[in-house]
Amino acid sequence: MEHTPKKAKRLAILKQLIKDLHAGAAFDEVKRRFGELIKNVSPGEIADMEQALIAEGMPEEEIKRLCDVHAALFQDMVKQPAKPQVAKGHPVHTFQLENEALGEVAKKLRAELAALGDPPDADKFRRQASDIQMLLEQLAEVEKHYLRKENQLFPVMEQIGITGPPKVMWAVHDDIRALLKSTRKAVADGDAASTVGSGVAFLDKFEDMITKEENILFPMALEKLNDENWQAVETGEEEIGYALIEPHEGVDSTVPSATAAPRSAPEHEGALELSTGALTLQQINLMLTHLPVDVSFVDENDEVRYYSDVKERIFPRSPGVIGRKVQNCHPPASVHIVQKVLDSFRNGEKDIAEFWLELNGKFLHIRYFAVRDSNGDYKGTLEVSQDVTGIRKLKGERRLLDW
């Protein structure tokens, strides 16, 4: 990362301001110094600042804690750039359309919560509960928006050396998800006070994230990523889906048309000799995509090399994950557990890690297997996830002849 002397000095002062905030300096004093320093700071410099702080050892969790203050300073003291103008069909344009649609729903929800009064009126809550629940269901569509950021945009940013901002932003995504979940539960439980309290907290973070995307993330990404990078972001978006909108089809885009890699080899290609038989590449691909489980493979370097492209995945995957460090494919809060599993496999301490959970009415079974060659050398990890809801309900027996 190269800087002119002036830019390098400004970056150093920016870092010091954030560190002073971290150390408890008076907000107004930091704001004053910030206003004197920052006149035309670019989104790219914001990314450089956060990256430098992480490189120097500041924990990502601390940067996340300062993220709201950081954004507030930029909003108050820096003249916001005009909304980035990109062609219809560009990934950023799609994100912007989603933010517009989601933002309108958020305004309606905020009005509904305010109408309940302070403290909230129980009778009004009972009358409005179904409307509030409906609006929350619409806002839950933001999951697709966040998943495309996490699985398509962030991997490309990481590839060009921008790792800090994605990790910090992903952690905030998880905060928003938790607040949305607690708000929906409060409505279902008929708890008016908790609905308002949790709902307002959710909307504050939700709308703040939109502001950060529009004024920091998207301009920064447009400054740093080239056409080839944006093509990689675009490829696989449809597999995750879109929040409340459908992107414009058949329109010109600043991103060159993405050509999907072939999913299987031609039928006439020769069979591969396996330990027990031989299969063509097409047969192997078809077999893996017809298994009643999700399969992912991480190599010995902790890079994701493969996931089974089944019709109904338990956990979202898209092409942006291929080649990515598996540690970057998990929320920051669980990375240490992922690392612990990998380390135990690599050093031969464990061969299997097994987990299960209930999610959206389903009982999910997730297993990780250490993959070793004939010499016992570690070659990677196989993840197998399965919805076992129906299996747990089976009783008695059904033999083949009973079919």
Q: Which CATH number fits the domain that encloses residue 220?
A: 1.20.120.520
pTM value?
0.79
> What pLDDT does residue 265 have?
39
In a domain, 185, yes or no: yes
Which 8-state DSSP code applies to residue 327?
G
Burial class (CB in 10 A: 0-12, 13-18, 19+), 376: exposed
In a domain, 129, yes or no: yes
The last residue of one of the domains, among 223, 240, 257, is 240
Domain count, the chain: 3
Residues 129 and 41 in one domain: no
> What pLDDT does residue 216 have?
83
Average pLDDT estimate for 81-107: 91
Average pLDDT estimate for 201-219: 92
**pLDDT-based confidence at residue 38 (cuts at 50, 70, 90):** low
Give the pLDDT confidence of 244-294 residue by residue, as tens digits.
998 865 455 556 544 444 333 344 457 899 988 899 999 999 999 999 999
Residues 34 and 125 in one domain: no
**pLDDT-based confidence at residue 30 (cuts at 50, 70, 90):** confident
Residues 69 and 132 in one domain: no
Q: Check whether 357 has a pLDDT greater than 70.
A: yes
Residue labelled with tokens 């600043």: 254
Q: Tell me the percentage of the chain whose pLDDT exceeds 70.
A: 87
Indicate the SS3 state at residue 84.
Answer: coil
CATH number assigned to the domain comprising residue 321: 3.30.450.20
Rounded-to-integer distance, Cα 150 and Cα 237, Å: 11
Residues 106 and 228 in one domain: yes
Residue labelled with tokens 């301009």: 219
Give Cα 4 to chain centroid, integer Å.
Answer: 33
CA angle 134, 151, 364 (to 5 degrees): 65
In a domain, 250, yes or no: no
Rounded-to-integer distance, Cα 299 and Cα 285, Å: 18
Residues 98 and 198 in one domain: yes
Residues 110 and 221 in one domain: yes
Residues 319 and 389 in one domain: yes
Residues 72 and 211 in one domain: no
Residues 102 and 230 in one domain: yes
Residue ranges making up the domain that contains 39: 5-77
By C-alpha distance, which of 92, 113, 275, 82 is closest to 202? 113
The backbone torsions φ and ψ at residue 387, rounded to the nearest 5 degrees and listed phi first, read: -85, 110
In a domain, 267, yes or no: no
> What pLDDT does residue 255 have?
61
In a domain, 145, yes or no: yes
Residues 218 and 288 in one domain: no
> What pLDDT does residue 69 have?
58
> What pLDDT does residue 258 have?
42
Alpha helices in 140-255 (DSSP H): 142-148, 154-159, 164-188, 192-212, 218-224, 227-234, 237-240
Give the pLDDT confidence of 214-232 residue by residue, as tens digits.
888 999 899 999 999 999 9
Indicate the SS3 state at residue 160.
Answer: coil
Residues 73 and 96 in one domain: no
Tokens, residue 131: 């409307």
In a domain, 251, yes or no: no
Sheet of strand 304-307: strand arrangement? 304-307, 294-299, 378-387, 362-372, 352-359
In a domain, 261, yes or no: no
Rounded-to-integer distance, Cα 150 and Cα 356, Å: 23
Residues 101 and 228 in one domain: yes
Tokens, residue 115: 């109408």
